[in-house]
Amino acid sequence: MKFFKFTFILAVCLNASGLMAQTPVLMPGNVETVTINDHNIVFKTTNAYGRIEVYSPSVIRVRLDKKPLGRDFSYAVIGEPGKGKANITQNEETIILITDSLKAVITKKPFSVAYYTAGGELINQDEQGLGTSWAGDAVTTYKKLQPNEHFIGLGEKTGNLDRAGNGYTNWNSDVYGYRVDQDPLYSTIPFYIGIHGNINYGIFLDNTYQSDFNFGASNNRFSSFGARGGEMNYYFIYHKRLADIIKSYTWLTGRMPMPPLWSLGYQQNRYSYYPEAEVMRIAKTLREKRIPADGITLDIHYMDKYQLFTWNKSRFPDPAKMSDSLNKMGFKLTVIVDPGIKVEKGAPAYESGLKDDVYIKYPDGQNYTGQVWPGWCNFTDFTSSKGRAWWRKQVSFFAKSGVSGIWNDMNEISTWGQKMPDNVLFDYDGAQTSHLQAHNVYGLEMIRSSYEGALEHFKERPFVLSRSGYGGLQRYSAIWTGDNRAEEDHMLQGVRIMNSLGLSGVSFTGMDIGGFTGNPTVPLYTRWIELGAFVPYYRNHTGVNTKAAEPWAFGEDVLDIARNYISLRYQLMPYLYSSFYESTQSGMPVMRSLAIDYTFDPKILWADYQNQFEFGGAFMIAPFESTREYGKIYFPEGIWYDLYNGGVIAGKQEKVVPLNVAKLPVYVKGGSIIPMQSLVQTTSILPTDTLSVHVYNGLTANSFVYYEDDGKSFDYKKGSFYKRTITFNPADKSLTFNAAEGNYTSHFKFIKLILHGFDQADKIIIGKDQIKAENGSYSFLSGAAATDPEGSGSPAESCAVKYIVIKNSTNNIKLNY
């Protein structure tokens, strides 16, 4: 009997061992060898090879693969490791890595990683028993779900601001007229932020294969991220403030350059404006109707039979002359480009590409051919240095035509049928790979090539726009949300997508105002054009076979409303341009989810309030469907002012407000500093020499960095800028203008200081002088400056203010109230 029991147990053990050996899921196993260097740990486990490296005190990288780690290469990451001290020790059970900001504990048996704050609070940890594993070529890391954990970011994704309970796939896709719950969309940014308790952290999975993220979808045990091939390669980021997580992520993947000033103005687009007479009609009508505007965009009908690097000469007989005429009117021209080069013997671009051998290929050496707008096309290999150089050379075609902006479309890659073969080969910068690995990064490398080509050939800062991309796209391009619909839920979904892009390091974002497919109702168009004034890239665009969607196409009432909000946008240009400067320095987006400043206030993640956002650091926008008569708004901590009438609202409360389609709900945070200028019809015209600086009374101190340069050249990189920090401190009732930095002379000679909420500030002390503050009113929608007590509009449309005029050289100001 005993012998039988022993035999039975032995058989069970052997069977279990056999099952383990044959399991389709491979775990790393135990750590067997460890080498510790100054900033990294190199190790081998039973079934894997790994490396953990300190990039900064707040950024730690983890690499893991079934085979020895290969080439260390990234299209996304430009930050370098070793930017901070690390103390690394080990014993038989663990390896402990400590920086100034966090602690990583690597368990050896089996391998797993957990991250803690310097004070010992758990930030994030591998799920015990799952950790990282391989299922075939796919690799996934499983993280333990923390109590009440929330997830935001992940770039261009539909759905709620809070992604908890959902799963997502990254595979750049052409999704015409996509649903508001569709996934994936056009671009891939595999970076998200986790929030639980009073802790937030970021994770960036740098792997260009199709990737998948699970934030507790269909399970209550883990969140996970992984890719269908390649190694596990992720960056863990921890800071106390969410804004600093974005700052570290954009340090890692790069920040946007200063955009050309004209690209921040209103852009009038359509699929398509042609011939030249129609383009000029649109430009002249914008000027005649006093609608400020800076750009007109041409879609594919400007080309000869849709062939890239051509003009349709019957429609546009002299493009350079047309561009010059538009420039004189204050308009810059943007044109669309697609990656497909038509296969046509004798065509200059096609023959040049053949000669330089720049097209992607099948394994047998034949160029891949796919069908798009021109017909059967070959496609430039932008993952090849040779391909990028060829494309940069072609960009001279646009420079010679007087074009100022390059709009990159269809770069997912999109082809008819949407099924590019997996076996198409790409150079991948010397490490040849298949479409499976190159697909998600193709758009990024196309916009890189367009941007670098424009730097070579354009005389001024270029504007580059893209539909597709990967992490780090902000270094080269703006992005818009693709072929949306003229529907209420698409307008609000666009807001959430742009907020998510902002959380993911991309500041220059836009959506097709009014919707690309279909025809908006008059109220919907009205609400959308109002909302566009507070979107980084203000693009009015509609598709072929839709009704006209210019501001004058919906009647005089809508025209007046559109003109008011577009005019407000232009008055806010000093504030907007300074906010873009902030993006270049810290990665802070212009369009900001409330999660950035109010991360641990649970209500900002509620579906009722998830569409609210900040425009820069001062404004809060609360968009609603145009059909709503009332809306519920959440006011976070602080003091808030109604933009239009100056009414004060206390923070930490919800309010139901009446809605009017003629007025977008906009509020200003107490303590805000907002520089504004006189109204101009185009950024090519200088405003008056007086800068209006609006200051809102508040409970806490606040600073604003005012920034100015010529708006068009790269001289700012050589110090030709004007930068001045303005600080309001209610504790000592002071307003401080720091000394200016840079060697650029500001256009503004005077400052009109406009005070909101300072009813008792009758005297203002500057040095030894006391200046009487004048009473006045200000209307944000009429373009009026602070005026006499009668003001410039009805009480419901104007804010009561105090104001004085000072020289731009004034420094310290004391507010006596």
Which residue in the list 338, 445, 483, 530 is annotated as catalytic?
483
Give 64's strand partners: 50, 232
Q: Degrees (nearest 5) of the Cα angle 660, 663, 669? A: 120
Q: At what angle do helices 242-253 and 573-586 cross, to 10 degrees?
A: 70
d(CA 297, CA 542): 12
**Lookup result for tokens 């799963």:** 167
CB 298, CB 311: distance < 8 Å? no
CB 537, CB 509: distance < 8 Å? yes
Strand, coil or helix: 443: helix
d(CA 689, CA 685): 12
d(CA 636, CA 787): 32
d(CA 19, CA 345): 60
**Lookup result for tokens 């890189």:** 448
CB 550, CB 562: distance < 8 Å? no
E strands within 483-621?
Answer: 509-513, 537-540, 591-593, 613-615, 619-621
d(CA 218, CA 817): 58
Strand, coil or helix: 502: helix
d(CA 463, CA 450): 10
What is the distance between the terminal CA atoms of the chain, rounded to a whole angstrom? Answer: 97
Give the Å distances, CA to CA, from 802 to 96, 583, 754, 757, 779. 59, 31, 6, 9, 13
Which residue in the list 409, 427, 550, 709 is annotated as catalytic?
409
Give the closest residue to 365 by CA, choosing from 421, 425, 314.
425
Q: Known catalytic residue: 483?
A: yes
Q: Known catalytic residue: 412?
A: yes
d(CA 341, CA 78): 31
Give the closest residue to 388 by CA, choosing from 457, 438, 454, 449.
449
**Lookup result for tokens 């050289």:** 809
CB 463, CB 260: distance < 8 Å? yes
Alpha helices in 423-504 (DSSP H): 435-457, 488-503
> The tokens of 484 are what?
């949306």
Give the closest residue to 710 by CA, choosing from 735, 733, 678, 742.
742
> The tokens of 545 are what?
């076979």
- Cα Dmax for the chain: 107
d(CA 331, CA 324): 9
Give 666's strand partners: 621
d(CA 335, CA 357): 26
Q: Known catalytic residue: 601?
A: no
d(CA 457, CA 466): 19
**Lookup result for tokens 């989810």:** 593
d(CA 615, CA 187): 23
> The tokens of 415 are what?
């082809």
3-state secondary structure 104-137: EEEECCCCEEEEEECCCCEEEEECCCCCEEEECC
Q: Provide the pairing of β-strand 750-756 with 690-696.
A: parallel
Q: Is the peptide bond before 190 cis (omega within 30 degrees of 0)?
A: no
Q: What is the CA radius of gyration of the chain?
A: 28
Q: How many CB atoms lie within 10 A of CB 271?
A: 19
Which residue in the list 183, 412, 452, 488 is annotated as catalytic?
412
Catalytic residues: 409, 412, 483
